[in-house]
Structure 1
C-alpha cells in the first residue's frame, strides 16, 4: 500500500475514532458533568479554513485521546485574537501556537511549553516572505521601499510572526516604514487570504511564509503561478505546543511523552503517524521543549518594541530614552521568568 493510500485510510479511521470519542463525551458529559469527564480541549487556528484544519488534526487528536484515556474536543478559532481570547478564558487546554502567541500564552495566560516542531540542518528553513504578482505594475522590493504609500498591503495579524513581526522588524522599520500607517490600504487575514488577495489583484504585496506558501501552491496552483517572492526573512522562531500550567505535572509530562513519541519507531502505526505529521507540516515530529524555547520569540518582541520606539515621535529625547529603559527592564524580567518557569525537560 502506497503512502497516499495509507494516509487516506488513516485519516478516515481517525475521523471515525474522534467522532466516537466526541459522541461518548456528549453522552457521558450530560450525566457526569465536565469535571468527571475531564475532556482535553485542543485549540486550532485555521490556516486555510476551519474544515481543512479540523480534518488535518483529526487523526492526531484521536491518537492523543487514546493515549491519555480521556476525550479530546476541538476549539477552532477564526483569528489570532479569538484564539488568544479563548486561551484567556481558559477554554483551551492544549494548542500548537506560533511563537508570539505561545509567548503571550506563557507570559500572560498561565500556559507552559511542552514541545516544539523538530527541525534539522537539512530541512528547509521556515521564513517570512513578501509576495507580489509576477506581471504586476508594482513588483520590485526597491519600489516598495521607495513608495510604500502607493502599494496596497495584505498582511497577517499583529501577533503573526511571519505575517507581521518579522517583516516589520527586519525590513520595514529599519527603512522607517511603519506597516500599519504607510501603505495605501491594507487587508488583514490568514496567509491564504493574503496570498489570494495579491493573486487576484486586490492587493499589491502580501506577507506570508515559506511553509504556507508551499501549501498555497498545492491548493491553488494557478493563483500561485501568478506570484513571486521578493524578500525573505531570517528563519522564524519555532511553533510551540503549550498546555495549561495548572494541569498536574504528571499529566503535562504524559502529554509531552505522547508528542515526542508520535511518529517515532517502526511498524504500521508509526508509519501512519508519520503520514499524519506530513499533513501537519511536521514531518520530523516534535521534540521536548520548555519555556526557555520562547527566548528567541521574546528577543524578537524586544527588537520590535525598541525599533517602534526609535521610529516614534516623542516630545523630547528624554521621553524616548525613558521608554527604551522601560522596554529593556521588561525584557530582562521576561527572560528571567521564562528561564525559571514551566515543566523542565529531563536531560539524559
Structure 2
C-alpha cells in the first residue's frame, strides 16, 4: 500500500527543471486526455478545448479528448492504454491507480486559490425536506438520485457521512433509487423528477448557476459534507520519463509563468474548466488517503453488520496502515 501511495512522488522533484530542457524529447504521435462525465460531453468538450489546444502546442503532438458515458469508461480507457492522462475525482482516481496503472501528479485548485469542495444533498426549493434529519426519516415514499459509483462527491462521500455513519443504505429510505452524473441529478431535482439527490458545490454554484440559472434557482441545499481535496490529475505510469517531464512542465507553468498577456489568457481558460480552476499544484497518490480511509471505514461497518469478523480485522488493519501514513504526510503532503 505505502509503495503504491508514494510511487508517483518519485522523480517529480526534478521534473520542472528537466521539462524546460527536454523540448525535443521523443513523444508519441497522440496524447489522449480523459475527461470524467460530470456533465454532458458537449458541455465538457466546449470548456476543455482551449486548454487541450494549448497542451497540444506545448507538447508538439495531437491531444484528443476522451469521453465516456460514466467514470468507469475513463478508468477502463486508461487501463487499456486508450487514455494517457485524465481528470478524475479522488474516488475514481483510486480506481485508476489501483486497477489502471495510473499515478496522481497534479491537483486542481479553484481560481480563488481554495483547495477543496463539498458534497451536497439537494432537493427542490419547494420541498418540505430541509435537513439531513428529514431525509433520514426514511419513510420509503420519496425518490433518490445517487451519483456515479466512482464519483467522490456524488457517491463515496455521502455514502460515508450520510449512510454509513447512520447505519443505513439509500434503499432503506427511498421508494426509488437512480444513478446519474452531477448535471443529470441537478436537472432531475430542479424539474421535480427526483425528490433528493447528491451533488457538489462545484456543479451547483459554479457551473449550473452559470449555464442554467433558472434550474439552479429551483434547487436548495439541505446537507453539506466536510471539505474534499480538489480533484487530481492522473497519468499512466507507463509513459516514458521524457513524456512525463514535458507534460508536468506544461501543467505546472500553465497560468503561472510567462508574460502578462499569456498568464491572463491561460487563467481565463482555467477559470472556464469545471467549477473554475486556478494554476495546478504538485501532487501524488498521497492525495487519495482521505478517501481511502473513508472507503476502509465503510468496509468495516459493512463487515460488522454482516457479522464478518475476518472482514472487520482486514478493514481495521487497512485503516491502521492508512492512518499511520497519513500521520507522516499530513494535510499538505501530496
TM-score, scaled to structure 2: 0.82
Residues 1:328 and 2:316 are matched in the alignment: yes
Which residue of 2 is the match for residue 293 of structure 1?
287
Which residue of 1 is the match for residue 268 of structure 2?
275
Tell me the SS of whatever aligns to 1:40.
strand
- Report matched runs for 1:195-234 at 5 Å: 195-214=186-205, 215-234=207-226
- Cα-Cα RMSD: 2.7
Distance 1:88 1:332 in 2: 29
**Preserved contact between residue 113 and residue 290 of structure 1 (Cα < 8 Å):** yes
Shift of 1:194: 0.6
Residues 1:86 and 2:80 are matched in the alignment: no
Match of 1:248 among 237, 240, 244: 240
Tell me the SS of whatever aligns to 1:84.
helix
Q: Residues 328, 140 of structure 1: CA spacing in aligned structure 2 closer, same or farther, 3 A cutoff?
A: closer
Provide, for residues 269-312 of structure 1, a one-character-per-residue CA deviation record: whole Å limited to 9, x for no partner. Answer: 211110000011343210111222222222222222223333x3
Match of 1:72 among 60, 63, 69: 63
**Number of aligned residue pairs:** 301
- Report matched runs for 1:27-46 at 5 Å: 38-46=29-37
Distance 1:227 1:120 in 2: 24
Which residue of 2 is the match for residue 235 of structure 1?
227
The higher-RCO structure (CA 8 Å, 6+ apart) is 2
Residues 1:98 and 2:92 are matched in the alignment: no
Tell me the SS of whatever aligns to 1:153.
strand
- Report matched runs for 1:123-142 at 5 Å: 123=114, 125-142=116-133
Question: Greater CA deviation, 136-145 or 107-116?
Answer: 136-145
Shift of 1:141: 2.8
Which residue of 2 is the match for residue 21 of structure 1?
none
TM-score, scaled to structure 1: 0.79
Distance 2:281 2:113 in 1: 16
Provide, for residues 147-193 of structure 1, a one-character-per-residue CA deviation record: whole Å limited to 9, x for no partner. Answer: 25222101101221111111121122222211255421012111111
Shift of 1:125: 4.5
Distance 1:285 1:118 in 2: 7
Match of 2:170 among 157, 170, 179: 179
* Structure 1 unmatched runs, 5+: 1-34, 315-319, 340-344
**Preserved contact between residue 119 and residue 153 of structure 2 (Cα < 8 Å):** yes
Distance 1:67 1:122 in 2: 25
Provide, for residues 242-290 of structure 1, a one-character-per-residue CA deviation record: whole Å limited to 9, x for no partner. Answer: 1111111232122111111110134212111100000113432101112
**Preserved contact between residue 37 and residue 71 of structure 2 (Cα < 8 Å):** no
